[in-house]
Structures are given as structure tokens and as C-alpha cells.
Chain A
Amino acid sequence: MTLMSGEPLANLDYKLREELRAELPRIFAEAGSIFVYATTEPTEALLLGGNTATMSEGRLTQFGPTIDVFRAPTDLITARTFSDPPLNTIVLQKHGDRFLLHGGVALPVPERLVGIGDGPYTIGFQPHHLSLKRPGPRDWCGSMGRLPAPSSA
């Protein structure tokens, strides 16, 4: 049996919605059927786990285990679709081991990506992955300079 539900929580009041968000995964697990659950809220997809297919403008952009699609989207559209609050994106130039931005901002390229070709790239990150204080000795890439106001999707 397959059950399809389109934004089932959209019209519920906040309290009931939160209750059902916790209850639905249990019901789904007990029922052992296939559930197709459509939602506009990334949080709901993350709570349910399983597999996620992201759609944008009527097209399927990616399908895979939910956490993989969330952490490693294959393109910018998927990243933006599956991001709440909106993904911060900045267009910059890669030059060697630095991402350069107008105004003298230089962001070290993460080690795993130093080998990619130089040129323009778009970086994307969640607001909670940016910090104004150094969180650990060498884990984070630091940047000196002023960042422009991040664009939102």
C-alpha cells in the first residue's frame, strides 16, 4: 500500500502541527507502508528522514537519502530549495587557495577543494555555520575583511 499526502500539516494551527510532526514518523514506521509526503518545509523532510526528492519549478532536481540531499546538494537550486532559513550565497573568485571578494575579503578555500580550477564560484552556507568568533583552532576558514550583506534565496 502506498499513501500519498500533500502538505498534510499546512492548514493546522501551530500546536497541532508540532504534535503531528512528532507523531507522524511513529505512525509511518508502525504502518510499514510507503508514504509519499509532499511539503514546502525543509524541517518536515528532515524530521521524517527516509528519502527526499527536491522539486523546483515542476522539475525533479535531486533524489536520495534525505540527509545526503540536505548536506550535499548536487546543485544550487536544490541547495536553495532544501534550505530554511534561506541559504546565504556569495559569488567570488577562486585564486589558488583563496576565495577573493571585492573589498579585500579573502576566504581560505577548504583543503579538499584547493585543487579545483581558478575562476568564479558561488559559495553557499547556512547562517549558523558562520561565526564572528574563532570557534576552533584550525577547523574553520577565517576571513579578514568586510562581508557584504548576504543575499537570500
Chain B
Amino acid sequence: MRLYGTLARTILGIARSYSDLGRHFGDDLYEAEVAYLMDREWALTSDDVLWRRTKRGLHRMAHGIHDFETDAMVEVFIDPRHLMVFDQTGRAVSANLKEAA
């Protein structure tokens, strides 16, 4: 893989065949590479993968990579101790420190 040089091993992991690479998104793009780009190269969206971290966006029409983001899930965590909640009028529903004290 011309794109990753010696890092290609990291991406492929223990994969021995195409089916080990996870979902096929079209062209030569497989889940294993997308996972690597999200984990190591800060890719968050399909545009990051197709346009910013690789040049696949340029020939995606020709090779038919479909939008692989439609069922994407991102898990986020917010610290509840620092989560402020306000009602519709903008008044704080509960202050963060009161419960901790």
C-alpha cells in the first residue's frame, strides 16, 4: 500500500484475506483502513477519510464509494459534574456544586 508504507502492517493487523478487513465501502476502501484513520489520523467524518486523509474523494464517483456514514455512531461522554442544565427561560435548573458540597 503506497499510502502507508511500513504502517500498512498496523492497518492490516492479523487480517489474512479481504473478508478480515471488515466492511467493504467500495473501491479499495475497507473498514480496517477507516478504523485506522479514525484512531490515528483524527478522521471523524466520511469527508475526512475521502478528502482529507486520502484522495479517494477525487475518484469516488468513478469507483463508486457510497456514503458510508449513514449509520455511523460516535460515542461521546460528558462529565455530569460539569454539565449545566438550563430551562427554556435560561435559568439554571441545578447548580453543579451544590450536590458535591
Which residues of A are interface residues toward B (Cβ below 8 A)? 68, 71-77, 79, 87, 107, 110-113, 116, 119-126, 129-135, 139-147
Is A79 within 8 A of B84, CB to CB?
A: yes
Contact check, B96 vs A144: say whether CB atoms are below 8 A apart: no
B77: min CB distance to chain A, Å: 4
The answer on a CB contact under 8 Å between B86 and A111 is no
Q: Residue on A with the closest CB to B45?
A: A146
Instruction: Indicate if the CB atoms of B90 and A139 lie closer than 8 Å.
Output: no
Size bracket of the B interface: 20 to 34
| Other-chain contact of A122, B75, B79, B80, B86 (Cβ < 8 Å) | B86
- What are 7 A-B interface contacts by the 8 Å CB criterion? A68-B95, A72-B95, A72-B97, A129-B78, A129-B82, A144-B73, A147-B74
Query: With A73-B84, A125-B82 known to touch, is A142 a contact of B91 (CB < 8 Å)?
Result: no
Residue of A nearest to B94 (CB): A113
Q: Cβ of B82 and Cβ of A116 under 8 Å apart?
A: no
Q: Which of A110, A119, A139, A146 contacts B72 (CB 8 A)?
A: A146
**Smallest Cβ-Cβ distance to A108: which chain B residue:** B80
Identify the B interface with A (CB < 8 A).
Answer: 72-88, 90-99
B77 touches A130 (CB 8 A): yes
Residues on A with C-beta less than 8 A from B87 are 119, 121-122
User: CA separation between A79 and B85, bound complex, in Å?
Assistant: 10
How many Å from the CB of A72 to the closest CB on chain B? 3
